[in-house]
A and B are shown apart, each in its own frame.
Chain A
């Protein structure tokens, strides 16, 4: 599928994007000398620039590749992921933005110290900041592995190692953090890199209007060979023209025609050949016919689709409130009012962006249906331009999409790593520049084994798990801390632990291999794969109950703290906190 010239073109685009990101990072590092400098000086950033910067840092591998992959595979129900990724900012706007900014705190652990003055709670919060960032780095690294593997044919491990090396070097050597305009530029780069291919394909689609619904699975237009890299169970609806070489249902086979519809297990190293016009087999559990795909209610593979969708909604709508690398940018607004306007502008920017991955997911079923066999539908954005458009234009569009993808991994990973390193350096080590570098090295290396060992490669689903952890830990802490005077330090720690352990254990189980889908009607597998529905209420309830029990420990100055968080700055109550106080 990829000729030598297109590999060279793609490699050049990847390299250019990586070099540009590193160079901008170094340049940005020069401009901002210390964390304190950056944060305090930037408390003058306007809401439009800030919103573009937040979106630039937020749109990760999951948004750039994962959304299209899930839409291609699961259809209508997968649309809840991009809606949730956007709606999270509505939650952030309404429940967190202005009071958090007015608290004057500069990180989440610092906020907890401002609110409840407890070093133990500060440590617990710092721990969860690190856990969330490390888990969030995993799908970024996986996305890099997938991209380099699909486009350049490199072994999977090279991508994660390369991105980790670049990001660690960038954060360790380049300084603290990119300045606002670099991050803002990232948003426009990613938007361009996905919008141009998507609009080109849209023009192509409108020109021939191929049917999307219908009773049949998607068909390939020409003779196609698909290599299976990991064992997979596929559903074959129409067997005509499907031949298999390798391992079929555990038996070695050579050029065997599939003769009847049903489920088949394909071993690693197997090759599936589809004759021109043959219907594609689809990963078992995903909708195979056009009608199933276009309809709502099918879920995202596995049992209990309604529970899955509800849990995704809870995790994504509330999870953004607990993402440390997003929250840190809100402290750079000049005041609470600007913080609200920034969040609103982010909703607009994300709404525009997500139209394009959604379109790409729809077109993937038409132009690269063979991806549905292997389950690596996340590669759709990268492969589609060349599959649909012949010659140089297709190659150029593919190179553009690849550059956008690598920019997405690097920007989000850098932001996350800065948050990990910042938290570790100020709260565990002694906060010197050398400590920050050590912390960056540790924080960047930690996700590597996880990324290489993780079984599921669906990027958006993995990111959804991280949202569930964030929604079960930092979200209740911030929401209750901001709106409820009754919160105590002990209650907050109990709630953090309850929500964190419940969601974290579920995420770990799913990442290392998941549970058997057939066990106890599929409930254990679904609960572990989508924990937010029970772990978020659990965290809130434990936090409230434990605070009521320890209510003697409510800090005496709670009224003053509330006045500072909620009164407009004009009334002169807010006090800025800076690192090192």
Chain B
């Protein structure tokens, strides 16, 4: 259990492990946040650049309403779900590294 002790006692190896985890989790969050913000900007820009998108109706609902009032919510949930899965995977990896003898 040498690695566990290294993490707990803040040795260089332990600190490097924590830094790696923090960087990975932050990178994951930032990448997914970028995906969401890109979607937001595309929705904002499409309404202004291509007015035809606003006047088109799908299933009797205008496209801009369909995007904003209906489809944006599943997008938020799917991104959140992806984050939870990948973040937990990252944590499992570090637990495995710490628990296994090097």
Task: Point out residues on A near B: beta carbons under 8 Å.
Answer: 76, 79-80, 83, 86-87, 89-91, 93-95, 98, 213, 294-297, 306, 309-310, 313, 337, 340-341, 343-344, 347-348, 351, 354-355, 358, 483, 559-560, 562-563, 566-568, 570-573
- Flag if B32 contacts A344 (CB, 8 Å): no
Question: Inter-chain contact count A-B, CB under 8 Å?
Answer: 118
Task: Point out residues on B near A: beta carbons under 8 Å.
Answer: 4, 7-8, 10, 14-15, 18-19, 21-22, 25-26, 28-29, 32-33, 36, 40, 44, 47-48, 51, 54, 62, 64-65, 68-69, 72-74, 76-77, 79-81, 83-84, 87-88, 91, 94-95, 98
- Flag if A313 contacts B40 (CB, 8 Å): yes
Q: What residues on A are CB-neighbors of B76 within 8 Å? A: 83, 86-87, 90, 347, 351
- Flag if A483 contacts B22 (CB, 8 Å): yes
- Flag if A295 contacts B10 (CB, 8 Å): no
- Flag if A358 contacts B4 (CB, 8 Å): no
- Flag if B8 contacts A296 (CB, 8 Å): no
Determine the distance from Cα of A570 to Cα of B26 in the docked complex, in whole angstroms: 20
| A358 touching B7 in the complex, CB below 8 Å, given contacts A296-B54, A341-B84 | no
| A563 touching B10 in the complex, CB below 8 Å, given contacts A90-B79, A568-B95, A571-B98 | yes
- Flag if B47 contacts A562 (CB, 8 Å): no
- Flag if B10 contacts A559 (CB, 8 Å): yes
Q: What residues on B are CB-neighbors of A83 within 8 Å? A: 68, 72-73, 76
Q: What residues on B are CB-neighbors of A570 within 8 Å? A: 95
Some 18 contacts from A to B, beta carbons below 8 A apart, are: A76-B62, A79-B69, A83-B73, A87-B76, A90-B36, A94-B29, A213-B62, A294-B54, A296-B47, A310-B44, A344-B84, A347-B73, A563-B7, A563-B10, A566-B21, A570-B95, A571-B8, A572-B8
- Flag if B10 contacts A560 (CB, 8 Å): yes
- In the complex, the chain A residue whose C-beta lies closest to that of B53 is A296
Which of the listed residues B8, B33, B84 has the most CB atoms from chain A within 10 Å of its own CB? B84
- Flag if B87 contacts A340 (CB, 8 Å): yes
Q: Which of A86, A297, A483, A560 contacts B47 (CB 8 A)?
A: A297
Determine the distance from Cα of A570 to Cα of B95 in the docked complex, in whole angstroms: 8
Q: Which of A79, A91, A309, A559 contacts B33 (CB 8 A)?
A: A91
- In the complex, the chain A residue whose C-beta lies closest to that of B81 is A344
Q: What residues on A are CB-neighbors of B29 within 8 Å? A: 94-95
Which of the listed residues A91, A347, A567 has the most CB atoms from chain B within 10 Å of its own CB? A567
| A80 touching B68 in the complex, CB below 8 Å, given contacts A297-B47, A559-B18, A573-B7 | yes
- Flag if B10 contacts A483 (CB, 8 Å): no
| A566 touching B25 in the complex, CB below 8 Å, given contacts A90-B36, A313-B40, A347-B76 | yes
Determine the distance from Cα of A559 to Cα of B14 in the docked complex, in whole angstroms: 10
- Flag if A344 contacts B15 (CB, 8 Å): no
- Flag if A76 contacts B77 (CB, 8 Å): no
Q: What residues on A are CB-neighbors of B64 within 8 Å? A: 76, 294-296
Q: What residues on A are CB-neighbors of B80 within 8 Å? A: 89-90, 93-94, 343-344, 347
